[in-house]
Amino acid sequence: MNDMTPTSAERAEKLEGMGCKRKRVEDVRFVQGKGNYVDDLKLTGMLYGDFTRSPHAHARIKKIDTSKAAAVPGVIAVLTAAELKPLSLHYMPTLAGDVAAVLAEEKVLYQNQEVAFVIATDRYIAADAADLVEVEYEALPALVDPFKAMAPDAPLLREDIKDKTEGAHGKRKHYNHIFTWEMGDKDGVDAAFKKADVTMKEMISYQRVHPCPLETCQCVASFDKIKGELTVWGTFQAPHVIRTVASLISKIPEHKIHVIAPDIGGGFGNKVGAYPGYICAIVASIVTGQPVKWVEDRIENLSTTAFARDYHMLTEMSATKDGKVTGLRVYTIADHGAFDACADPSKWPAGFFNIVTGSYDFPVAHVAVDGVYTNKAPGGVAYRCSFRVTEAAYCIERAMDIMAQKLGMDAAEFRMKNLIRREQFPYTSALGWEYDSGDYHTALNKAMDTVGYKKLRAEQKAKQEAFKRGETRELMGIGIAFFTEIVGAGPSRNCDILGIAMFDSAEIRIHPTGSVIARLGTKSQGQGHETTYAQIIATELGIAADNIMIEEGNTDTAPYGLGTYGSRSTPVSGAATAVAARKIKAKAQMIAAHLLEVHDDDLEWDVDRFRVKGNPERFKTMTELAWAAYHGVPPGMEPGLEAVSYYDPPNMTYPFGAYICVLDVDVDTGTSKIRRFYALDDCGTRINPMIIEGQIHGGLTEALGIAMGQEIHYDDDGNVTTASLMDYFLPTAVETPHWETDWTTTPSPHHPIGAKGVGESPNVGGVPCFANAVNDAFRFLGSTHIAMPHDNWRTWTVAEKLGLHA
Amino acid sequence: MAKSQVTMTVNGKPVEALVEPRTLLIHFLREQLNLTGPHIGCDTSHCGACTVDFNGMSVKTCTMFAVQANGSDIRTIEGMANADGTMHALQEGFREMHGLQCGFCTPGMILRAYRLLQENPSPTEEEIRFGISGNLCRCTGYQNIIKAIQYAAAKLRGVPLQEAAE
């Protein structure tokens, strides 16, 4: 070697592998307006579909007359349940074991439910004609309040299943009941409460919200009658599952269905499930023999395709008088709307809600969830969180604050006392999860030190005194949240979707010149997979990330995978990527040994090459080995250099974090001014710190929206009153504060590269942090729990009720 | 429906077309001119994904008719590159500062930022936040968009980029 030879470190840096703040590959097309989203697609002869929707929340359909609509010039066809029923497509299966109406047959069960689908040559004509479909309704009483769903005299919603006493998850105890899901040690908790010095009990409700990605749900279906093949381009977070479901319900063989998810304009859980628009576009294309595009508008998006939360959690905690938690009991009413269209792993009707013990060492806990039907849009998706994990985190983090208040303890001190200790990992929680790794005290200490926690408390106290003296009209709130997520679903022993194990996949092919294509079973919606997966391969194989192309979303070419949601891409497909790369590396090592005429064991890996131990000048780079794989493999070895991995994770991963929010509430206007927000995240090994920070900024902003204003609200008649961006709060740059990010690194012991996933952590931790800050502002006045969202009006009302405007 | 003739300049090129009076400008741009950079994110002029530069103003094209654009001068993301084909400072800034994730708001956001910087070449953070508040982003939390705009502002003013980039 001479002096010009780059060192190992120099070569490693050039790869732009793991740990590098690599600029994103996908941005080059996005900043030039050359993204390829579904609505950008234009096919010859393409038709447009639009829905006629129900104005009622609950009504019997007496008559549908499509003649006026069908007579509009340019209208090709109008579909109603009558057309779909002979094909058995008027209902579709949901991921949760229920069925959902595609087009309403005898009844409508929520406002804006799909009743007819008009197909026309132009989207304006389709919209015109959809208005001309005449539907005669007989209005029925609407059931809006989930707490009244199981009353003896509650309106019967689901006539299609009224005689079914057994649901997908066991016995149904009422005609509006979906499931009861229970876990933990009920007797143990009862005993703990009997012995407890202090207990708390609070109804902690997490309002109905919607993920609201900026691009709505949409698809183009194109059926080729000659070949009998169906191609569907759509906004699919899980394209392979969509293909399987499409095959099962259409009876078109799976190999003749091509599902393609192009660029997606944000998903956040909204784009996991299947919606009537997809089915209708497919049927319409089969019927007409022409491609059919369906694009929902924002009102349709907010009021029909998916919602999240709507969890009402009666929470009780017991503790000793010196502040050690001894038991947790949570009973939840879950409002699923008209159909159970939750997007959870099939065996988990309440998702992973049993993560509700959070980051704390509860000796015993018990949870039960009753799912009920109401006259609201169906769903129960995971809006930027693993399944029901944000609900759980909000529940426990609020409850911890309320308990601290009861004990007269500081919220941070109480948490410190109960956090799971480093030496307890791997830690088995009272509700059955095995937390893989954590160092919670270090994280919380770092957070508190960074923000100057003690000083903040002193300042708060002084401000409270000043408030009492009438010198200020502001109250200072300090919110803490310490969250543990459970992501990376998941191990096949307990996670499947419709019977398909929740593995994920990667297929890597090295070309003769040493460049790479890798295809994965996941699907980015903005997370930057094209950038980060390449970084994993770069480090594993010593090939520059710029020479690695990542492809996802085409079910014909990508290996089967379960898609991107629940922060599962890095924990599952990221692991598959590393494992596939290691298979390639093992073969490359054999080729290197052959070429260098040494034994495999005499070689060692050095960044981008195998070199002979003790003789580093004898080496073969990965590029050389790629070339050799196509012409000079050892005798008996197959040529080529590629590998595939289907990775079945041994466990979930458990990212965690400590967040602190400081804000000032103006009691006269109800406004909350966020002074500071500090987020420390531990997502294990960090692949691209720039992308991680971006994910955290975005998740915190979504959390801000949820905590401070978002709500999908229904009036007593079941009219949805917040179905446009006029009324549904999305934070602008003005409301959004500056985010401070920080990290610790506790790798996952079971993941090939130690990564845990991060995209959803800020939503999981952010929401309770904001909520705790607002609540903390009022704590010294005796207030224990104020329900979300903390918009100005609600906050003003709290101040009013506390007599602060007198 | 009877169609009206419109002429306008789009990204520096003359355009002549027949449009229905009710055709929205965004649909005209996307479907008749195949300029799919501007996007549709809402129905109520809130999200700004359809923002273009229109006669020296930022305009949300989902809320005006194509016929109203008769005689106008429009610039979309497709017309943002420099004359030599390199990316505009804003396009470069958004990539350098990680000012986008899903990319759906980006064309509208860049066009809004373009007009903002025309009006105020060295905006403060607060001025940028206010200036882009008609454009929603669901992914980034705006922080890096602000950095991207600061990066572009510095580059366009010829100030060393170090100042803008952290």
| A26-36 confidence digits (pLDDT tens) | 999 999 999 99
Contact state of B31 with A31 under an 8 Å Cβ cutoff: no
Task: Give the pLDDT of residue B55.
Answer: 98
Q: Report chain A's C-alpha Rg in angstroms.
A: 28
Q: How far is B7 from chain A (nearest CA, A)?
A: 22
Annotated active-site residue in A20, A212, A342, A385: A385
For the sheet containing A59-65, what is the strand order? A107-108, A59-65, A134-139
Tokens representing A418 are 């109960």
Contact state of A698 with B140 under an 8 Å Cβ cutoff: yes
Task: Tell me which residue in A29, A266, A701 faces B104 most closely, judged by beta carbons.
Answer: A266
Is A384 annotated as catalytic? yes
- Whole-angstrom Cα distance, residue A766 to residue A660? 9
Domain range annotation of chain A: 8-35+504-647, 38-140+216-264+271-303, 308-489+652-801
| A450-469 confidence digits (pLDDT tens) | 999 999 999 999 999 999 99
Instruction: Show which of residues 22-41 on chain B sit within 8 Å of chain A, judged by CB atoms.
Output: 22-23, 27, 30-31, 34-41
Substitution target in A23, A24, A31, A209 with the highest count of B β-carbons within 10 Å is: A31
Going by CATH, does the domain composed of A308-489+652-801 fall within 3.30.365.10?
yes
Burial A567-585 (b: 16+ CB within 10 A, else e): bbbbbbbbbbbbbbbeebb
Is A551 annotated as catalytic? no
| A527-579 confidence digits (pLDDT tens) | 999 999 999 999 999 999 999 999 999 999 999 999 999 889 999 999 999 99
Q: How far is B38 from chain A (nearest CA, A)?
A: 7
Contact state of B104 with A214 under an 8 Å Cβ cutoff: yes
Substitution target in A123, A214, A235, A739 with the highest count of B β-carbons within 10 Å is: A214
Q: Are strands A516-520 and A548-552 parallel, antiparallel or unpaired?
A: parallel
| A120-154 confidence digits (pLDDT tens) | 999 999 999 999 999 999 999 999 999 999 999 99
**Residue B162's pLDDT band (cuts 50, 70, 90):** low
* Structural contact between residues A76 and A286, judged by C-beta atoms closer than 8 angstroms: no
Task: Give the pLDDT of residue B61.
Answer: 98
Residues B6-31 have a mean pLDDT of 98
Query: How many other β-carbons are positioned within 10 Å of the β-carbon of residue A749?
Result: 14
- Give the rounded distance of the alpha carbon of B54 from its chain centre: 10
Going by CATH, does the domain composed of A38-140+216-264+271-303 fall within 3.40.50.300?
no
Contact status of B143 with chain A (Cβ, < 8 Å): yes
- Give the rounded distance of the alpha carbon of A153 from its chain centre: 36
- Whole-angstrom Cα distance, residue A599 to residue A424? 43
CA dihedral A549, A554, A560, A565 (to 10 degrees): 90
What is the DSSP annotation of B95-130? HHTT--SS-SSHHHHHHHHHHHHHH-SS--HHHHHH
**Residue A358's pLDDT band (cuts 50, 70, 90):** very high
User: How many helices (H) and strands (E) are present in chain A, helices listed first?
Assistant: 19, 34
In this structure, which amino acid lies at residue A676? R
| Average pLDDT across chain A, whole number | 97
Contact state of A214 with B138 under an 8 Å Cβ cutoff: yes
Task: Tell me which residue in B27, B38, B44 faces A725 most closely, judged by beta carbons.
Answer: B44
Is residue A4 scored above 80 in pLDDT? no
Task: Give the pLDDT of residue A3.
Answer: 59
Q: Do domains A8-35+504-647 and A38-140+216-264+271-303 have the same CATH topology?
A: no
Q: Which residues of A touch B139 (CB under 8 A)?
A: 214, 266, 526, 694, 698
Going by CATH, does the domain composed of A8-35+504-647 fall within 3.30.420.40?
no
Is residue A806 scored above 90 in pLDDT? no
Q: How far is A732 from chain B (nearest CA, A)?
A: 5
In chain B the domains, ranked by start, together with CATH numbers, are 4-79 (3.10.20.30), 89-159 (1.10.150.120)
Is residue B163 scored above 60 in pLDDT? no
Task: Give the pLDDT of residue A346.
Answer: 87
Residues B141-156 have a mean pLDDT of 98
Angstrom CA distances, B38 to A33, A78, A273, B117, stand at: 7, 31, 27, 19
Task: Give the pLDDT of residue B164.
Answer: 45
Q: Which residues of A touch B107 (CB under 8 A)?
A: 33
Query: How many other β-carbons are positioned within 10 Å of the β-carbon of residue B118?
Result: 12
Contact state of B41 with A739 under an 8 Å Cβ cutoff: no
Is residue B120 scored above 90 in pLDDT? yes
Is A105 annotated as catalytic? no
For the sheet containing A516-520, what is the strand order? A548-552, A516-520, A504-510, A642-647
Task: Give the pLDDT of residue B1.
Answer: 72
Is A237 annotated as catalytic? yes
State pTM to two decimals. Answer: 0.97
Q: Are strands A229-234 and A548-552 parallel, antiparallel or unpaired?
A: unpaired
Residue of A nearest to B45 (CA): A725
Task: Give the pLDDT of residue A788.
Answer: 97
| A313-328 confidence digits (pLDDT tens) | 999 999 999 999 999 9
Q: How far is A230 from chain B (nearest CA, A)?
A: 24
Q: Which residues of A touch B105 (CB under 8 A)?
A: 214
| B70-85 confidence digits (pLDDT tens) | 999 999 999 999 999 9
Contact state of B138 with A691 under an 8 Å Cβ cutoff: no
Q: How far is A296 from chain B (nearest CA, A)?
A: 10
Residues A731-744 have a mean pLDDT of 98
Is residue A668 scored above 70 in pLDDT? yes
Tokens representing A352 are 């992973």
Contact status of B156 with chain A (Cβ, < 8 Å): no
Phi then psi dihedrals of residue A689, to 5 deg: -55, -30
Is residue B166 scored above 60 in pLDDT? no
Query: How many other β-carbons are positioned within 10 Å of the β-carbon of residue A22?
Result: 23
ipTM of predicted complex: 0.97
Annotated active-site residue in A208, A760, A769, A779: A760
Q: pLDDT > 90: what percent of chain B?
A: 94
Helix (H, G, I), strand (E, B) or coil at A173: coil
Q: How far is B14 from chain A (nearest CA, A)?
A: 20
Q: Which residues of B touch A725 (CB under 8 A)?
A: 42, 44, 46-47, 136
For B85, residues 6+ apart whose C-beta sits below 8 A from its C-beta are none
